[in-house]
């Protein structure tokens, strides 16, 4: 078992053993307070990205931009929101990796081109951006950021098209992968979802008639927006003073909605892909209990993401649900660990066990996903030390065996414990009495109680719906290592 990833690098850097979402997007048109609503929408979708945030607004003449590093509530002041004048705006939250991050890469992108000023916010990941970028550079394009989204605006500028819609369609036909986009010009807001529909994108309307787009419906709740419908896979919706028009510029493709949004990413109070995340997550827990029962005294979740699945497990199994792990919400990005080793430091910074909930008990612990297994191992050790007599780990999804190339930052193949170890090896590494994952079929069964098929499950099956470049893993390192961090 010597190949189990080692944890020594955790000394001062707190990182979760969870995948990272790549971004939230928001757009609004025809609102007297476009920037302020965008700010609230971004705030409500902070869970989808904590690295940087930005807003671009339009007053019909100019695009105004402001972006900063950190959390929405800290970046934007009343003064900044006031300066972002105009009746249309788009916004973006970027996710926080453990490595370097730069203000330069904050979205929305805003550029000047012969089409006039254009701003763009992108959720998802293009799989052929590296090829396209090389080709564009050969043709004389110059790049300023390291984000894949920049190729889209270059392709637009070089499309030869003189109207925005044609330029955007032309550009998107040249890229492959996952993209939910909002694009803002002086007088138009465009929302697009890639033909496979990897990432969510919803559309709503406020009482005052303004049109709103967001990654999740929780952004509608905070802005008093009424949900109308999802932007469809392959659909491009154009909003301007004359109203709303819908286009389908791409050849039809097989839907490939990201099932991980239901399992882990989205807020439980959101609806995405037309269904309540809470409901789906509970169904996964129910299914888990039915298929993989165990005799036990108490069910506890790994908070907060597995809370609802654990409630589902408790409901279906009849084993009482308890909040046996308490999670701290004051975690910073790094922690100063004493030289005298603290037991299970990396996990303790975030979680503590309620001893009397588990002491002398047979415990079922429910989690939604296991990547490297490092944090799980520590949590389980903490529960064991608190007196649990048996520990049974139940995971409300199949084993994660493959990275994602469509917008989720899942560890590489060799880091994923389930990609390189048998279930029994994982059980031993984690030191649990039993371990069980949902099967792929059961996962789909649970989800489809509520929401028909058409999901991407590549992280569980290696069955990638859209072909990608073989060297995609290297793409990220483009500037990363040799950028000296900007002052922010």
Catalytic residues: 23
Q: Which stretch binds its own copies (CB under 8 A): 408-416, 432-440, 457-465, 476-484?
A: 476-484
Is 187 among the residues that bind its own copies (CB under 8 A)? Answer: no
- When the beta carbons of 157 and 190 are compared against its own copies, the nearer one is 157
Q: Is 91 within 8 Å of 39 (Cβ atoms)?
A: yes
Contact 409, 378 (CB under 8 A): no
**Under rule CB under 8 A, which residues in 300-359 are in contact with its own copies?**
307-308, 311, 315, 320-323, 326, 328-332, 335-340, 342-343, 348-349, 352-357
Q: Which of residues 245-304 bind its own copies (CB under 8 A)?
A: 267-269, 276, 278-279
Structure tokens at 409: 């930052």
The first and second tokens of residue 21, run together, are 């979402």
Q: How far is the CB of 415 from its own copies (least distance, A)?
A: 25
d(CA 30, CA 449): 38
- Among 141, 187, 290, 389, which residue interacts with its own copies (rule: CB under 8 A)? 141
Q: Which of 3, 60, 62, 295 binds its own copies (CB under 8 A)?
A: 62
Which listed residue (1, 2, 318, 484) binds its own copies by CB under 8 A?
484
Q: How many CB atoms lie within 10 A of CB 162?
A: 9
68 touching its own copies, by CB under 8 A: yes
- How many other C-beta atoms are found inside a 10 Å radius of the C-beta of residue 355? 14
Site for its own copies in 7-46 (CB under 8 A): 12, 32-33, 36-37, 39-40, 43-44, 46
Quote the least distance from Cβ 483 to its own copies, whole Å.
7
Find the length of the chain. 488
Residues 81-110 that bind its own copies (CB under 8 A): 81, 83-84, 103
Minimum gap (Å) between residue 387 Cβ and its own copies: 13
Question: What SS3 state is found at 240?
Answer: strand
CB of residue 331 vs its own copies: minimum separation in angstroms? 7
- Number of chain residues interacting with its own copies (CB under 8 A): 105
Q: What is the dihedral of CA 393, 397, 400, 403, to 10 degrees?
A: -150
Which residues are CB-contacts of 89 (< 8 A; sequence separation ≥ 6)? 27, 28, 31, 34, 35, 37, 38, 55, 56, 57, 58, 184
Query: What are the C-alpha distances in Å from 10 to residues 327, 336, 368, 375?
Result: 18, 10, 22, 10
- Indicate the residue among 216 and 235 with the shorter CB distance to its own copies: 216
């Amino acid at each position: 078992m010597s190949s189990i990833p080692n944890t020594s690098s955790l000394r001062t850097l707190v990182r979760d053993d969870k995948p990272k979402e790549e971004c939230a997007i928001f757009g609004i048109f025809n609102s007297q307070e476009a920037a302020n609503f965008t700010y609230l929408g971004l705030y409500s979708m902070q869970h989808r990205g904590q690295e940087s945030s930005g807003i671009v607004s339009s007053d019909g003449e100019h695009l105004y931009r402001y972006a900063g590093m950190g959390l929405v509530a800290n970046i934007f002041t009343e003064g900044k929101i006031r300066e972002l004048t105009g009746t249309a705006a788009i916004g973006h939250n970027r996710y926080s990796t453990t490595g370097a991050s730069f203000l330069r890469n904050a979205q929305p992108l805003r550029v000047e081109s012969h089409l006039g000023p254009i701003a763009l916010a992108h959720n998802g990941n293009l799989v052929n951006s590296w090829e396209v970028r090389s080709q564009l550079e050969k043709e004389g394009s110059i790049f300023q950021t390291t984000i894949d989204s920049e190729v889209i605006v270059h392709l637009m500028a070089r499309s030869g098209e003189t109207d925005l819609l044609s330029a955007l369609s032309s550009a998107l036909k040249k890229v492959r992968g996952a993209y939910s986009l909002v694009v803002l010009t002086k007088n138009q807001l465009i929302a697009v979802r890639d033909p496979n529909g990897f990432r969510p994108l919803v559309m709503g309307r406020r009482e005052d008639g303004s049109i709103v787009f967001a990654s999740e419906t929780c952004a509608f709740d905070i802005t008093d927006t009424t949900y109308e419908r999802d932007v469809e896979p392959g659909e491009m919706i154009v909003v301007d003073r004359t109203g709303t028009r819908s286009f389908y510029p791409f050849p039809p493709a097989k839907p490939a909605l990201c099932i991980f949004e239901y399992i882990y990413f989205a807020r439980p109070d959101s609806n995405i892909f037309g269904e309540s995340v809470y409901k789906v997550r509970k169904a996964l827990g129910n299914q888990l209990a039915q298929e993989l029962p165990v005799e036990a005294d108490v069910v506890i979740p790994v908070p907060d993401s597995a809370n609802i699945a654990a409630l589902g497990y408790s409901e279906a199994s009849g084993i009482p649900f308890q909040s046996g792990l308490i999670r701290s919400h004051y975690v910073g990005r790094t922690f100063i660990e004493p030289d005298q080793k603290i037991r299970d430091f990396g996990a303790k910074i975030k979680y503590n066990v309620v001893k009397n909930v588990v002491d002398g008990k047979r415990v079922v612990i429910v989690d939604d996903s296991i990547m490297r297994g490092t944090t799980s191992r520590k949590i389980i050790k903490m529960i064991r030390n608190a007196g649990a007599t048996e520990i049974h780990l139940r995971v409300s999804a199949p084993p994660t065996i493959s990275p994602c190339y469509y917008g989720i930052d899942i560890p590489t193949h060799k880091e994923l414990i389930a990609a390189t170890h048998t279930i029994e090896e994982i059980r031993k590494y984690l030191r649990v009495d039993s371990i069980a994952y949902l099967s792929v079929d059961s996962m789909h069964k649970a989800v489809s109680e509520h929401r028909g098929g058409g999901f991407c499950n590549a992280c569980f099956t290696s069955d990638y719906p859209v072909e990608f470049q073989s060297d995609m893993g290297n793409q990220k390192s483009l500037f990363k290592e040799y950028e000296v961090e900007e002052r922010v």
